[in-house]
Each structure stands twice: as structure tokens, then as C-alpha cells.
Chain A
Amino acid sequence: MSGTSLRVLVVDDDPNLAEMLGIVLKKHGFEAAFVAHGGRAVSAFREVRPDIVLLDLMLPGADGMQICREIRQESLVPIIMLTAKTDTADVIRGLDAGADDYVMKPFKPDELVARIRAQMRRVESDHPETLAIGEVSIDVAGHQVSRNGIPIPLTPLEFALLVALARKPRQVFTREYLLEEVWDYRHAADTRLVNVHVQRLRSKVEIDPEHPEVILTVRGVGYKAGPP
């Protein structure tokens, strides 16, 4: 990915904010594409094939959540919500729709760029490395997760979360630690971000998400990987 600049799709109805975002993104070496109307967001996504999506939740034409769900159905590309809503319930709903992270308006440019970079950060592995939790095997270098040979598609963030847990089996991770390690948050923000993503990851890798065997909850502390 070095060499070619990353493509960012900005879905926002405010032309001034979009232009400003464009300036900031360009300044940080990203290539930006814009779509102002919610109804055209998904088709623009197919056309642009972006590496990451910045999505405003309040849009004319279509609901931001709906767009989020539609994009998530056909792609694992990271989605960051831009939200003006401060109610945690709205944030949780956005995450449930498939977003990986959120940035609360008004945000500082550096903060936004840091969020984007955190999402784009791949799990690095110099040598072939294979991890396993139960029946789930993880090919770190190949970015592949499978259960009994059947591949499980994961977003980069879900993959990073799973690898972080699998690399240190038996260790219990606090939500704050995971937030720092996987999301790159320097100060503990909303730990519900972790809860939502663990639930989503479980719905993909567990046989029965109600009785998880891959990602175990340690009450009052956090999470740990199941036995390999």
C-alpha cells in the first residue's frame, strides 16, 4: 500500500465540510472521493472502490445506518462514522449497523487522521504465522480466518481484534487495553466500542454466539481467547 495513496470515500451532505475534509485528507496524503447524496452512496462506493469510508449518519436521501448495512453486505472495507449525535445509544446503533469506529463532530483534523490510520493499519507479520483458537485457525500473513477449512470473512478491525486475543492465549485483556491495542486510542474512550465488536466477531466465528467458545468473557475484567 506504500506508493499508491489510500482512497477515502467521504459520504457527507455538507459541501463545505466535504471540501474541508478533502483539503485535510489531501494534506495527509490520502486521495478523497465525495458523494453528497445518500441515495448515490452505494453506487459511488462500487465505482470508487475506496480503502476506507467516512460516513455521516444524518444524510438526505437515505439513512446513514442503511448505507452502512448495504456497504457491509458487499465489502469488509473499514467504515468510520462521522456523527454529530453525542448520545451513546446513537453511537451503538451506528456500530451495530456495521461501522468500525466513530468520530464525534466537531473533531480535530489530527484526530480524524489518527482514526483513519488506525483502521488502515494491517496486522503485521514478517514470517508465516498460524494461530488457532478451538476449531478456528488464523493465517496472520495471509489475512485468512477459517473454521474447519471454511473461510470466515472478517473486516480488518475484527481480524486485528481476533489476532490480538489469539497471540496471547490464556491472557485476559481489559477493554481499555484492547481499545488502545486494536483501535489505537491513546486515552480510554468508549469501551462499548469493544463490546459491540466482540459481539459482532462472535456472530461470525462462534457456532453459538450465546455460548461462546472462541472469545470468552471474563466477568468484571474483559475478554480472553478460548483454548487452542
Chain B
Amino acid sequence: MITTRRSGWRPRLEGVVRELRLRARIAARATWRNWRRSLQLRVALITVVVTGAVVIIVSVILFNGIRSQQLTAKKDAAVSQAQVGVQYASNQVVAVPSGDPRSIRETLQRTVDELLTRGGSAGQFSIVMINRDTPTPLTQPSFAGLTPALPANLISMVGDGTQAYQYAIMPTDGGPDVPALVVGAPVPSQSGTYELYYVYPLDREQRSLEDIRSTVVVSGLALVILVAGIGALVTRIVVTPVRLAAQTAEQLASGQLERRLPIRGDDDLARLAGSFNRMAASLQRQITQLEDLSRLQQRFTSDVSHELRTPLTTVRMAADILHSARDDFPPDVARSAELLQTELGRFEGLLTDLLEISRYDARAASLDAEPTELGPLVEDVLAAAEPLVRRADAAVHLTLPDEPVVAQIDPRRIERILRNLLLNAIHHGGGVIEVTLAANKTAAAITVRDHGPGMDSDEVLRVFDRFWRADPARSRHAGGTGLGLSISREDARLHGGWLQVWGRPGQGSQFRLTVPKVVGVELEGSPLPLEPKAATDDPYDVVAGPIGAGP
């Protein structure tokens, strides 16, 4: 029972502690964040802390100085008055016979009365005079109740024959107990043992010290608040333009190039604003220049496109008519018509590719992405390339995942990439070409694997370069513009995707296209490996094996 109960409340307590600790940590973090973020808060807090410390130190020193000065003055005056009093009392008691209580009492009373009338610079006071010749000392206080309050310490010191003073809480005549300075001295006399005590109430001094203390505290607090306020105000004057500058810089960065800072006055902040505005103007000028250049480049591309395409259309149609009538021509003219037709096709392809790549260079390419199922897209590209595959005596093995793969892509561009990769595999590899589609949660990938001569590491690095040809002797026969892979790589980049290649001499090569399923999502890995799982001489090893997942 006990154990269950204990295990009942202990976790609860621990939970509460954990909760509290968590809340404390959150609060601390929020404060820390504010502390780090707000210069104004930081300056105000530092000002308060520093000013507070200075004010406290100064006040303590000041207060102690005033107090000790007041008390010293009081003590000096009191001691000197007591000395005069002792002198007087000594003269009074000289003739008093010892052992005569009546005359002793009379003398004590007379002396005290007389001494009470003599004021001094030490202010109000009361007196006790004592004769210790009888077993019960004869005392003469200025008012009743004063004698028992005399501090025992002082009495014993006076009893030893020394003059001394002490601070103590003493009664007043008809008033409350107050702190007081008590000065005691033995009265030198041949006829008996006399002691004289002066009691100086310190209530007035205490009141004035309290007044001073509260004044010091109030003015110190006021000073701290004032300084903190000034600090906050000054920081605000400085920080506000800085914040404004930060805000304006953000707006500039977000493309509002015409934003500027207001310039007021001729101070440092105005100079900052001036420099800032000059910088913004210079940036705006340069960006506008770049934009103009880009626009010019786009216009140029567009114009070249039009100017070249119109005559090319005429030539194309003329060549087509010649080509279709070639059977009526003598053999060499007929062959010329055929060559004209083929080369025109190449020329057209080259023009299209050049314009496409210059569009990328001018950053005029735009992505028209729409959710597209990749499986049918791959199948369409393969079907369209079927005649070429057959002519090259090659074969294509396609591996599709069970689930349909849908990604936000520009189908025109992805088709173009696949077409280029497939043509590349047909021209440079031949034999069996393996095309694999796979996807994970965020990305889709397509690999095109050939078992041709492959590439060495230098060729792998250069394969995406413009007009680069792996094998000059072969490529002329193979056709192609030499721009296909460059454009494909740009197409992949436009999707935020990757186009990569793996190759090894004698083992063929593999291209891998990876695109995010959602436009704008950063790729973290590819659903297919770049390097084929089993890069052996027998291509069917790869086809037969399971399709690798993971990066």
C-alpha cells in the first residue's frame, strides 16, 4: 500500500517540478531573446543597474558620513559638558561629610538642579548623580525611572574610575524610550564616591537622519528612473533610425528597389541615411542595368529566333518539295535533295537547342509545372523512340514501381530530358538499355543505364559541357547537336532537381534524374542509387536483381 501511494505522488511531484522547470526555461529563453534582440531594453537595463549601484554606494557613503559627523559633534559637546559638570559637582561635594545621607542627598539634589539649568551645545539632556558610599547608593535623577536604565557596562567602567560614554535606549521624562548618548564620569572627591551621568536623547538626531535617509533614497530612486528614462530615450533616438534602416533594407532585399530612408538634419544618423540611400540607389541602378541587359538578351534571342526561323521555313518547304520530287531527278541531284533535307533537320535541331540554351543563359526559362504521372510519361517517350531503338538494334528494359508516381513537373522539359538521355544511350551505348523509375516520399528518380564503352572520370566530368563529344569519330554519325545534355541539366535544375552521371570504362554508364515531387522542396536524396548495383559484364544481372531503394 505504502509503496503504491509513494509511487503515486512521487511521479506527480516530479511532473510538477519538471513542468515548473520547463516554464522557467521558456521564460528565461524569452527574456534572453528579448535581451538579445532589443538594444533599447539592454541599454535601459544596463543603465539602471550601473546607475543603481553608483547611487547606492554614494548614498551609503554620504549617509554614513553625515551620521558619524553628527554623532561625533554631539559626543564631543556632550563629553566637554560632562567634564564641566564633573568639575562643578566635584566642587559641590568637597565639603559634604561622608556618612551623612541627608546632606549628601541635599547636595546631590542641589548639584543636579544647578547642572540642569546649565545648557550646552549638546542640546537637551538629563542627569543622574549617584553616591555609592552607602550600601544602597543614593541617586538623584532628573526624573524618576532614569537610574535603572543606565547601562551596566557603563556603570562598571565608571566604577573603575574612567570616564566613558555609551549609546543606549533610555526613557524620557513622560515620553517614549529613545536612543540616547550616555556619558558617565566619576566625580573626584575626598569625601565619598560620586558618579555623574549625562543622558542626551538622540531622538532629534535620529529624526533628522531618517529625514536625510528618506531624502537620499527617494532622490536616488528618482535619479535611477530618470537616468534609465534618459538612456531609453537616447537609445530610442539612435535605435529608431537603425530599425528603420533595417526595415528599409529588408524591403530593398525583397525587391522594392525604390525604397529610401528619410534624411533629417545633418548629424551622424543623417549621414548614415545618406550613405544608405546612395548604396540603395547604386544597387537599384545596377539591378536595373542587369534587368535591362537580360531583357535585351531576351529580345535579341526572340528576334534572332524570328529572323532565322522565317527564312528557314521557306528553305524547309522548298527542300521538302525537292525531296518529294527527288525520284524525277538524276541520281546526284536526288542525293543532294536528300542531304539537304537531312542537314536541314540537323540545322533546325541546332537552332532550337541554341535558342533554348540562350534562353537559360538569359534566365528567361520558366517552369510550367503541373502534377503529372511519371510512368505514362516515360512510356510515351520510350514509345516515341521505338523506331530509333529498333534501327540501332538496341533493346529497352523498363522497370516501373507498383504505385503510380506523381510529381509536380513541367512535362515538356522532363520528356525532353528523357528523350536526350535515351538518345544518348542509344548512340553511345547500344545493346540493352535499362530505364528505371522510382520514388520516395519527397522525390522521384529515373535512371537510364547503358552497357556501352562507358566513360572515364575525366569524361564523366565533361559530359554536360556544351558541344563536348565523347568520341568525335562516332558522334558525327550519331547526329545530335552537342547541346542535349547541357539543356537537360538546365531543365533538371529549373525543377530544383539533379541530373547526374556515373560511368566506368568498359562497364557502361548511368544517368540519374532526380526531381522533387513538389516544386520548391529541397532535395535531400534520390530514391535510386547513382551507381548501378552490380556493374558487371552481364547486363542481365542488373535487370534480374531487385531495384535498389535509398540514396
Contacts and interface: CB of A to CB of B under 8 A. Distances in A.
Given A27-B321, A86-B305, A108 B310 contact: no
A106 B313 contact: yes
Which of A16, A20, A106, A110 has the largest number of chain B CB atoms within 10 A? A106
B533 to A, nearest CB: 35
Nearest to A13: B310
A21 B355 contact: no
Given A84-B305, A85-B306, A88-B368, A108 B314 contact: no
B316 A106 contact: yes
A59 B380 CA distance: 37
A58 interface: yes
Contacts of B366: 89
A84 B309 contact: yes
B318 interface: yes
A86 B355 contact: yes
A109 interface: yes
Contacts of A89: 366
A135 to B, nearest CB: 33
Band of interface residues on B? 20 to 34
A188 B321 CA distance: 27
A20 B320 CA distance: 11
Interface string B362-373: 001010100100
Interface string B315-328: 11110110000000
B306 A84 contact: yes
A109 B321 contact: yes
A105 B313 contact: yes
B348 interface: yes
Interface string A105-134: 111111000000000000000000000000
Contact of A106 (B302, B309, B364): B309
Which of B317, B348, B366 has the largest number of chain A CB atoms within 10 A? B317
Contacts of B310: 14, 17, 84, 105
A24 interface: yes
Contacts of B315: 106
A17 B314 contact: yes
A141 interface: no
A17 B314 CA distance: 5
Nearest to A82: B313
Which of B305, B313, B316 has the largest number of chain A CB atoms within 10 A? B313
B348 A106 contact: yes
Given A85-B302, A86-B355, A17 B313 contact: yes
Given A27-B321, A88-B368, A58 B355 contact: no
Given A58-B306, A85-B305, A106-B348, A23 B313 contact: no
A220 interface: yes
A82 B355 CA distance: 18
Contacts of A85: 302, 305-306
B343 to A, nearest CB: 13
B314 A14 contact: yes
A14 B314 CA distance: 9
B279 interface: no
A23 B324 CA distance: 14
Interface string B348-379: 10001001000000001010100100000000
Given A14-B310, A16-B314, A85-B302, A24 B321 contact: yes
B311 interface: yes
Nearest to B302: A85
Contacts of A14: 310-311, 314
Contacts of B317: 20-21, 23-24, 108-109
Given A84-B306, A85-B302, A220-B371, A16 B311 contact: yes
Contacts of B355: 86
Contact of B320 (A86, A108, A187): A108
Interface in B290-310: 302, 305-306, 309-310
Nearest to B315: A106
B94 interface: no
A188 B309 CA distance: 23
A11 B469 CA distance: 43
Nearest to A104: B309
B312 interface: yes
Nearest to A12: B310
Contacts of B314: 14, 16-17, 20
A187 B313 CA distance: 21
Contacts of B309: 84, 105-106
A21 B321 CA distance: 11
Interface in A86-111: 86-89, 105-110
Which of B320, B355, B364, B384 has the largest number of chain A CB atoms within 10 A? B320
A106 B306 CA distance: 10
Interface in A1-49: 14, 16-17, 20-21, 23-24, 27
Nearest to B365: A87
B312 A106 contact: yes
B321 A107 contact: no
A16 B314 CA distance: 7
A83 to B, nearest CB: 9
Which of B310, B312, B348 has the largest number of chain A CB atoms within 10 A? B310
Nearest to A16: B314
A21 B352 CA distance: 22
Interface string B417-429: 0000000000000
A110 B318 CA distance: 12
A110 B315 CA distance: 14
Contacts of B306: 58, 84-85, 105
B368 to A, nearest CB: 7
A107 B352 CA distance: 13
Contacts of B318: 20
Contacts of A187: 384
B311 A107 contact: no
B483 to A, nearest CB: 15
B305 A107 contact: no
Contacts of B320: 108-110
A114 B317 CA distance: 14
Contacts of A27: 321
A14 B312 CA distance: 12
A24 B310 CA distance: 16
Contacts of A106: 309, 312-313, 315-316, 348
A27 B380 CA distance: 34
8 contacts: A16-B311, A16-B314, A20-B318, A24-B317, A24-B321, A85-B302, A86-B305, A105-B310
Interface of A: 14, 16-17, 20-21, 23-24, 27, 58, 82, 84-89, 105-110, 187-188, 220
Closest 5 CB pairs of A and B: A84-B306, A84-B309, A105-B309, A106-B313, A106-B312
Given A23-B321, A108-B320, 15 more contacts: A14-B310, A14-B314, A16-B314, A20-B317, A21-B317, A82-B313, A85-B302, A85-B306, A86-B305, A86-B355, A87-B364, A105-B309, A105-B310, A107-B313, A109-B320
